């Protein structure tokens, strides 16, 4: 969450359960709800598809208002996870529990930007005060990258860089479960109305190059302030 908008970024890989080992697939994870909200989900590809299918089945009037959307996401996420857990308990075919769905909603409630996480169990958490949140298997990496950045003070173009850098680092670090391509969206107020925009492929290249330039500057800072050891 920047000072003039929200950036939502994701990797492009979903992880599916299979007989031998989990398998990966390319998957979109960020979607817009009209012009005023963005949502993303984690879990396997089927869970994300199910959230999207249920939202697509609703008319525009049913998707208006922050409270309405929060209620819908809570119901959908819990509704997807509950039978998965019940089936797992009943069958016990897998050693590890099923991959459960979570969702993150970015939206303006009036003029106030909101980030809400919808947990496995139907509970919700707001992240307006912290200014950022991450879900999915890369969330620890993302949170570690975002920690310490005063995201609420960042202009939107700087927040885009941070969002891109965060996902890129998570993909590079994680042993599995994350992969390219990176997807970046913004939500900001344009002439008193919220507006979602997807960052173009060309602009993502510029973001990637900017991240490389920042890395070179960080190295310069570390190297230039290196003092030689003092002999005692």
Partner 1 sequence: MRIANRRRGKLSKIQRRDLLMALLLAKGAGGKSDPLDRIRIMKSLFLLSQEVPKIAGLFHFEPYLYGAISFDVYTELDELESAGLVTTTKEFSNERWNRYFLTTKGTMGAREASKNLPKSILSKIESLKRYVTSKQTYELLKEIYAKYPAFAKRSVIKVTS
Binding site for partner 1 (CB under 8 A): 157-158, 161, 172, 202-203, 205-217, 219-220
Supply the minimum distance, in Å, between the C-beta of residue 228 and partner 1: 20
Supply the minimum distance, in Å, between the C-beta of residue 176 and partner 1: 15
CB closer to partner 1 out of 81 and 168: 168
Whole-angstrom CA distances from 230 to 94, 174, 225, 226, 227 are 59, 39, 15, 12, 9
Q: How far apart are CA 9 and CA 182, in angstroms?
A: 7
Supply the minimum distance, in Å, between the C-beta of residue 31 and partner 1: 26
Supply the angle between the helices 156-173 and 139-146 in degrees, to the nearest 10.
140
Q: At 26, phi and psi to the nearest 5? A: -75, 135
Supply the minimum distance, in Å, between the C-beta of residue 217 and partner 1: 5
CB closer to partner 1 out of 32 and 210: 210
Supply the minimum distance, in Å, between the C-beta of residue 45 and partner 1: 24
Distance of alpha carbon 175 from the chain centroid: 19
Three-state DSSP at 135 gives coil
142-174: string of b/e by CB count within 10 Å (b at 16+)?
beebbeebebeebebebbbbbbbbbbbbbbeeb
CB closer to partner 1 out of 66 and 203: 203
Supply the minimum distance, in Å, between the C-beta of residue 57 and partner 1: 37
Length of the chain: 232
Q: How far apart are CA 99 and CA 102, in angstroms?
A: 10
């Amino acid at each position: 969450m920047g000072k003039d908008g929200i950036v939502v970024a994701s990797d492009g890989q979903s992880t599916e359960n299979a007989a031998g080992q989990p398998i990966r697939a390319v998957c979109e994870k960020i979607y817009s709800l009209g012009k005023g909200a963005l949502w993303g989900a984690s879990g396997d590809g089927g869970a994300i598809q199910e959230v999207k299918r249920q939202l697509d089945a609703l008319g525009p009037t049913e998707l208006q208002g922050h409270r309405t959307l929060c209620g819908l996401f809570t119901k959908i996420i819990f509704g997807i996870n509950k039978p998965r857990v019940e089936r797992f308990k009943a069958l016990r075919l897998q050693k590890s529990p099923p991959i459960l769905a979570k969702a993150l909603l970015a939206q303006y409630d009036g003029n106030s930007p909101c980030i809400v996480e919808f947990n496995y169990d139907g509970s919700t958490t707001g992240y307006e005060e912290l200014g950022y949140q991450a879900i999915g298997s890369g969330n620890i990496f993302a949170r570690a990258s975002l920690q310490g950045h005063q995201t609420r003070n960042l202009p939107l173009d700087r927040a885009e860089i941070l969002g891109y850098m965060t996902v890129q680092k998570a993909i590079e670090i994680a042993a599995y479960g994350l992969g390219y391509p990176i997807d970046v969206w913004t939500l900001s107020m344009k002439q008193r109305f919220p507006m979602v925009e997807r960052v173009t492929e060309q602009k993502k290249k510029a973001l990637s190059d900017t991240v490389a330039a920042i890395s070179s500057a960080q190295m310069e800072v570390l190297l230039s302030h290196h003092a030689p050891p003092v002999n005692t």
